[in-house]
Each structure stands twice: as C-alpha cells, then as structure tokens.
Structure 1
C-alpha cells in the first residue's frame, strides 16, 4: 500500500481478504512471513459488521474512537452522510443503512493514519451508496486506505490508485 493512497483489494468470497485485514490490524497472527510498515501508525477500520453499541446513540458511538471530537463536527459529518434527526436514537432503533453510515463515520473521524475498509458499502442502496462513497473519499483524502470490495465500480468511485487481486488457493481434497 502506498502512503496517502487508496488501494483496493479484490477477490472472490472465501479467498482470505478479511483474514488478511485482521492480520494487518494485529487481530490475527500470520502462519509465516512478516507485516511491516504499520508500527506506530494509528489504524482504524470499518468491519463487515457494524459493531455499534446498541444502547448508545450515533454521536456517542462515534465518540468511542474520537472522545474529544466536537459534537457540532459529528453532527455536520452525520448530515453529510444523510443522517439527520437521528442523533439521539439508540443504535438498536436505526435502520441497517443508518447503522452502516455511523460505523463508517466512527472509523473515519478518529484521526487515523491508515484506514481499513472491509466491504464498507455493503447493504446500501445505490443512491445512498453514491453519497456515502463520495463522503468517505473526502474524509479519507491524504490517508492510506485499503478498501476490500467485490465491486470494480466502488474501487473506481473511491479513486483507488492501485488494485490488488487475490486468487483462491483451491486444494485438491479428493481421496
């Protein structure tokens, strides 16, 4: 991955994209080899699951990673993502698309140097996706981003300067 650039990682389901991300984040250990270049860098991630605290509202969920971020900034960024009039609702009452956008904002507003996006736009309708991709691209400007996606269009919309394609390692398991 190049510093300050968006890199897209594309592969079929089950090829190990999420496992690779988890290794890059230090959540899993590789069987062999080394990962370098991330030491001392602030990392943030959007996982495939939203991972919100159900009883907390969107502002408080975002503040989990950015406790000193001004409420007005959070509300402005929520509005830019099409999230208005929901700042006081607990996460459990938000729609799936709203939850997704809160999870994305939580990762993007924490001041990270490196951002991992694991299928971040999954489940969004096309109109909402276009808005969210544009805002994500804006908030990621100048940061090092690894975007995992199945869609060439998403990689292009995010301005990916590099595309890495993983292939399945299919082993013969017949007896």
Structure 2
C-alpha cells in the first residue's frame, strides 16, 4: 500500500495566493500516521483531496492497494431519530458486526449507546461517530480532529486499540497535539506554509504500541524535530 501526492498545486477560488505549491509526499505503508501543522496551512484540504472531495488542483494523487478512503471529522453529525446502537447496527456491514461491541467498549461509550445521538456530549458524539467508521470496510481512514473533546487517557486507549485491531489499515490522524503525534504515530507529515520549501516535512514518530513506552529522551527528540520542522 502507498499513497503519493505528486507536485500538487492548488488555490481556492478568489484566494489571493496558492495554498499548495509543488507539494509532494508519500505514505508508504499501513499504520497510524499523522498530518500535523498550524491552523490554516491546508491539512483538511489535503486530506479531502485524498477522498476526492476537493478537486481543481494540478499534479496527481496516485495510490496502490487503496480502494476505499473514508474521512471522519470533529462534530460530524449522525441522525438523531434513532439510538446510537440502532444506527450502528443499521450501518455496519454484516461481516463486521461481531466487532461492534468491542469497539463500543474501547471507545468508552457503553453507557450512552442506547441514547439518541443529539443527547450525547460532544466527546461522546465524536467517539460514536468514530466507531461507525471503524466498523466499515476501508483501506484508509482520515481522522480529522476526530477525538477532540475527549480526555487524554481515553484518547490514548482508543488510539492504541485502533492500532492493535487494524494493523493492516492506514490511518491519517490530524491533530495539533505535538506529544500525541510523537508518541502514537509512525510517519508524521508536517505541513507548513506555502512560503516554506519543502512545504511538507516527514518525521519518524515513536509509534507507541500497547504495553510499550518509548524512552523519554527519544520522545523528547521527536517532539523537538516536529516543532523545529513546523
């Protein structure tokens, strides 16, 4: 599996300047990867290009071993007229239903799946929505601030469970949390302003797995690399 962005150039209509100029990157393997950078540099736009939701750019996006890309984001809505459990049961492919309870538990929403979506807190809504996507048949899942409004310990539990359950899938995790992407992600793609060259820099994260902890000095070194690159 790999994903290549080759010399991408893009600007929004009526914009004063380019958002991307000759941007190239490669995600070369399955795993839990990150797209990191300050607000406004185009992280969401770049991710939505991968899904096909943003067009009108020059250059090319090429993939191998990728058939289905899904995109989940902070505060995405679900229909409010049925319970979360009913909605999950209705939208989950039959072959994946045996995993539903495990993912509900991993995301810590057992106590609220009987409620309607609009009765949940923002953090519960984000977790319920993430479970819905994890139960689909996907090759790549973009998680655009999908765990916002979720406490740090719960986010860690969810990310580690995702990595354990889906080692053959590719995740692109968009976050502003330096320590989080340094700890949990394998390849960290740091997107910078269009005036900087190269516009994207790759840093190797510590790729923390369940039951392991990176040496503090290694984690600190990766965090410094990220900050300096940004």
TM-score (normalised: structure 2) = 0.65
Deviations 1:21-46 (A, max 9, x none): 11110011042111110686122222
1:12 Cα deviation from its structure 2 partner: 0.4
Contact 2:41 2:191 in 1 (8 A): yes
- Alpha carbons of 1:3 and 1:17: their partners in 2 closer, same or farther (altered >3 Å)? same
Match of 1:142 in 2: 168
Residue 190 of structure 2 is aligned to residue 165 of structure 1: yes
Length, aligned pairs only: 169
Residue 154 of structure 2 is aligned to residue 122 of structure 1: no
Question: 2-side partners of 1:38 and 1:61: how far apart?
Answer: 32
Residue 62 of structure 2 is aligned to residue 36 of structure 1: yes
Deviations 1:87-127 (A, max 9, x none): 22110111111111111111111121111111122111223
Match of 2:15 in 1: none
After superposition, residues 68-107 of structure 1 pair within 5 angstroms as 68=94, 73-107=99-133
1:151 Cα deviation from its structure 2 partner: 1.3
- Alpha carbons of 1:157 and 1:66: their partners in 2 closer, same or farther (altered >3 Å)? farther
Contact 2:141 2:171 in 1 (8 A): yes
CA RMSD, 1 decimal:
2.2
Residue 29 of structure 2 is aligned to residue 3 of structure 1: yes
- Alpha carbons of 1:40 and 1:128: their partners in 2 closer, same or farther (altered >3 Å)? closer
Match of 2:137 in 1: 111
1:136 Cα deviation from its structure 2 partner: 2.8
Question: 2-side partners of 1:4 and 1:78: how far apart?
Answer: 23
Q: Give the 3-state SS of the residue equivalent to 1:33 in structure 2.
A: strand
Contact 2:32 2:172 in 1 (8 A): yes
1:68 Cα deviation from its structure 2 partner: 2.0
- Alpha carbons of 1:71 and 1:56: their partners in 2 closer, same or farther (altered >3 Å)? farther
Could you list the runs of 5+ residues in structure 1 that have no partner in the other structure?
Answer: 171-175
Q: Which has the higher contact order (CA 8 A, sep 6+)?
A: 1
Deviations 1:36-62 (A, max 9, x none): 106861222221232222223222333
TM-score (normalised: structure 1) = 0.84
Could you list the runs of 5+ residues in structure 2 that have no partner in the other structure?
Answer: 1-26, 196-230
